[in-house]
Structure 1
Amino acid sequence: MSILVKEKSFYRTLFPLIAVIALQNVITFVVALADNVMLGMYSETALSGAALVNQIQFLLQMVVGGIGEGMIVMTSRFWGAKDISSIKKTTAIGMLLGIVIAAAMWAAVFFMPGEVLSLFTFEQAVIGEGTQYMQIVCFSYVFFTINSILLASLRSVETVKIGFAVSIISLGVNIFLNYMLIFGNLGAPGLGSRGAAIATLTARIVEMGITCIYAFRIDRKIRLKVRDLLRISKGIFRQYIRVGTPVIVSGAMWGVAMAIQAAILGHMGAAAIAANSIAAAVFEVVTVVAYASASAAAVVIAKTLGEGKKEMVRPYTRTLQVIFLLIGAVTGLLLFLLKDAIVGLYSITPETKRLALEFMTILSVTVVGTAYQMPALTGIVRGGGDTKFVMINDLIFMWGIVLPISAMAAFLWSWSPVLVFICLKADQILKCFVAVIKVNRYRWVKQID
């Protein structure tokens, strides 16, 4: 029995999906990295303030991403069965949920910025810079959500190039406006943190506008109309709640957990905040292929089941696991080799530089586990219809093990930021053992009717 599938159509579907989704994601993360680098050149305090606000943005990304991934589990199967009407109905439900959540988060951070940021740090200078950034950038939440839901719907029918094109344009807009508004170039006022926030908001508006034009005017697969998003099917809604709720909850728990991780490090000083911001931003960029492989795997597995080709699930799963491991090895090596050059771009204190390099060294090891277990569970297992398992697994590891131990290490045992960081990332290796057993038992293939 061969480990790797020899069917060329499998690779012709998988690799273009991974490549384009990865390119789209890398551009999206480079936008955040550009904010980090430019604010780091402007002021370490501004960098730290924006970093805390980005933890809130990350929570929104995880929740909206969960809504999108829950959609993909269903819409990819509908695509395999050529049920376009159900794809439209599922997209309408995802859009409604996403906009409600984005609006609620906007209200919370706009009206209570100081209270929200004080959850992460007691540094008043950092809170002040973060407030300036947050009260502008929060207006991007709804635009970001609409764009993300539409792109998730298009991705489920294997339309991914538009996402890459939109991200490229967004990157250009963001970097150009950062250059103008952070430092006061080309006759513009130097606004620092507020300039970065205006640049991000403008980029989000532009990308949403382009995606809407494509989805409503150009796309010929779904042929979505605005009126389609105003009709909620009770039957599809019940189905989505059953399938999608665990994915949304899992995303929300993960987003909150990352915010708590930032808060734990944030209470260890401004240097730890800045170092974690740098390491996290770089990590997101170099792991885009791993995250793209999860999305691609979910589409491939769900579509295969929608087409009624259940016998192909086992060989596809074996091949995907080999690909995940190779991606992890390459990503870890890349992160390790690039860390010095990237940290050298920042105008930071020697202590922050040392911590950032140590954090990235740790991540270059744990990313191998991330690149295997994350797409195995959130891609293969979710794509097969078992959406509850990942939620339960994250609940046990993150909330039952990692966060309690890390909090005690930081506040009770007074461990160093590096040792606390190791505790925070240990689950990425531990989850691999669970993933190997779960994936290769094949009990995750479920009906979603």
Structure 2
Amino acid sequence: MQFIKEKSFYKTLVALALPIALQDLIKFGLNLMDNVMVGAVSETALSGVSLANQPFFMFSMLCFGLAGGGAVLITQYYGKKDMATVRKVVSMTLSITIAFSVLIGAAVLLFPEFFMRIFTDKEELIPVGVEYLRIVGWTYFLYGISNTLVLVLRSVQVVKVTLLANAMAFVLNVFLNWVLIFGKLGMPALGVRGAAIATLTARFVEFLFLLVYIRFRDKVIGFRFHTLFRFKRALLRDFVRYSTPVVGNEFIWGVGISMISVVLGRLGSDAVAASSIASSVQQVATVIVFGICNAACIIIGREIGAGRVDYAKQCANTCMYLSVGFGFVLALGLFFLRGPIVSLYEIPEATKELSMSFLIVTSLIVFIDSISSIAIVGVMRGGGDTKYSMYVDVLTLWLLSIPLGLIGGLVLHLPALITYILLRIDVPIKAILCYLRMKSGKWVHNVTRGEIPQ
């Protein structure tokens, strides 16, 4: 198995992976800080907000899928140096995302209680989540556009600007959380409502910054807003063909992950809080791995678009072992730091003990998932092999984890920790299937056209 030794490759990888990892660290770190600060209000507040964020999590998976599907085409056309087609794909991706953002955001604002009752039957949690959703629902439209702009700019190797946008949002959100949740600087203590206002304000600033950049400062894509909702038929067919599996993958997988909250939400607020802590910590712990994954997607897509398939395969092999190596180190770090992490939360002792147990399982997941993550997000997506990654991601979750978790938690009434393990049983199976696919080399697909018809 060949590995890349040239320093130029690693310089490019670091130049892409590091800002992306920092972006994800900021994004997930923001979720973690929200959890810690809302958790200081009460366990009920933490659990209610965690469940209220589940519709947004599914929405974010849909947005990530749409933008990720567009990135499959963008990276390869960028490698081919066909910027006119890149602009067309960006326009299609943004147009479709805007439509979904308006529809889903409106649904959440109009029916917040309906969405809360999907995830829990605990009456004390529903009013908390409804209060939060009535404000945060406005962020769906802002996030849909911002997230798409971040991912399409990444696809053409523009990462520093998107990092700056996320950093601004992070600092502003944490500051406003402190002011509005706890009533600092003469402001009233608004609790959960303050957290929602802080999130909305930070999302708006991020949205405005990226909008101004893409219109007035961007020199790579050259996108113009008047091209929105103007589709080229042939390119639209390609977009649907290659992006639909990515959208299906991310959204259906996101719904499946939310089913974990549905199950745990019926086991009690301690299980919800422990799961929320484990999820937030896992996201922060894996930012380096996902930085490598996203950088690999960009590099591999670019090389395949440029016709350098053998080099793209070497990139895949190299990134696989880098991902697994970092995954192992991060898993060890999470395992040994689980105590100090849980101590940050002002929650009952029983919930802390359950959180510690959840984090032991999570540390193992971090390591094993480093295999499937690089394969699905990096190699197969960059190589245009979107259908296989969808089948693996979705079927292992829905045919194994979800049924076992539902039976274990809601039928057999097993302890929360055992139920949580059953709900994550898809992780090792998926890793094996992804590794075999990478070894086969069948993931390479050139998705570009010689000429785009008008």
Tell me the TM-score normalised to structure 2 length. 0.96
Shift of 1:202: 0.4
What is aligned with 1:412?
411
Distance 1:32 1:321 in 2: 28
Structure 2: 5+ residue stretches without partners: 450-454
The residue type equivalent to 1:146 in the other structure is I
Whether 1:441 aligns to 2:440 is yes
The residue type equivalent to 1:214 in the other structure is Y
Distance 1:417 1:290 in 2: 28
Shift of 1:43: 1.4
Whether 1:75 aligns to 2:74 is yes
* Contact 2:293–2:319 (CA under 8 A) maintained in structure 1: no
Q: Secondary structure at the match of 2:446?
A: coil
What is aligned with 2:152?
153
Deviations 1:206-239 (A, max 9, x none): 0011111111111111122222334322222111
Deviations 1:56-76 (A, max 9, x none): 111111110111111111001
Distance 2:214 2:333 in 1: 36
Distance 1:424 1:324 in 2: 24
Deviations 1:410-431 (A, max 9, x none): 1122111001111111211121
Equivalent positions of 1:266-415 (< 5 A) are 266-415=265-414
Distance 2:81 2:250 in 1: 28
Distance 2:409 2:229 in 1: 48
Whether 1:19 aligns to 2:30 is no
What is aligned with 1:211?
210
Moved more, 314-323 or 15-24: 314-323
Equivalent positions of 1:43-62 (< 5 A) are 43-62=42-61
Deviations 1:109-129 (A, max 9, x none): 211111211111111111111
* Contact 2:77–2:86 (CA under 8 A) maintained in structure 1: yes
The residue type equivalent to 1:45 in the other structure is T
* Contact 2:304–2:446 (CA under 8 A) maintained in structure 1: no
* Contact 2:296–2:315 (CA under 8 A) maintained in structure 1: no
* Contact 2:371–2:435 (CA under 8 A) maintained in structure 1: no
Shift of 1:195: 0.5
The residue type equivalent to 2:133 in the other structure is M
The residue type equivalent to 2:54 in the other structure is Q
Distance 1:345 1:318 in 2: 39
Shift of 1:395: 2.6
Distance 1:296 1:287 in 2: 14
Deviations 1:103-160 (A, max 9, x none): 2221222111112111111111111111111110010011011111111111111000
Distance 2:3 2:311 in 1: 12
What is aligned with 2:262?
263
Distance 2:199 2:354 in 1: 27
Deviations 1:168-219 (A, max 9, x none): 1101110111111111111111111110000000000000111111111111
Structure 1: 5+ residue stretches without partners: none
Q: Secondary structure at the match of 2:307?
A: coil
* Contact 1:88–1:229 (CA under 8 A) maintained in structure 2: no
The residue type equivalent to 2:271 in the other structure is A
Shift of 1:4: 2.4
Distance 2:236 2:182 in 1: 48
Distance 1:6 1:395 in 2: 35
The residue type equivalent to 2:327 in the other structure is G
Equivalent positions of 1:150-299 (< 5 A) are 150-299=149-298
- Identity in percent: 35
Shift of 1:314: 2.4
Whether 1:125 aligns to 2:124 is yes
Whether 1:88 aligns to 2:63 is no
Deviations 1:295-350 (A, max 9, x none): 11111111001111112122222211111110110110121122111211111011
Q: Secondary structure at the match of 2:182?
A: coil
* Contact 2:38–2:45 (CA under 8 A) maintained in structure 1: yes
- Classify 1:230/1:414 alpha carbon distance in 2 versus 1 (closer, same or farther; 3 Å): closer
Query: Which contiguous aligned blocks of 4+ residues in structure 1 show a shift greater than 4 angstroms?
Result: none
Deviations 1:32-55 (A, max 9, x none): 111111110111111111100111
* Contact 2:76–2:446 (CA under 8 A) maintained in structure 1: no
Distance 2:394 2:170 in 1: 35
Deviations 1:360-415 (A, max 9, x none): 11010111111111111221012111110111112320111110011101112211
Tell me the TM-score normalised to structure 1 length. 0.97
Distance 2:171 2:443 in 1: 42
Shift of 1:439: 0.4
Distance 1:338 1:165 in 2: 29
Distance 1:230 1:412 in 2: 48
* Contact 2:305–2:446 (CA under 8 A) maintained in structure 1: no
What is aligned with 2:452?
none
Q: Secondary structure at the match of 1:445?
A: coil
The residue type equivalent to 2:69 in the other structure is G
Distance 1:191 1:74 in 2: 45
Distance 2:433 2:225 in 1: 43
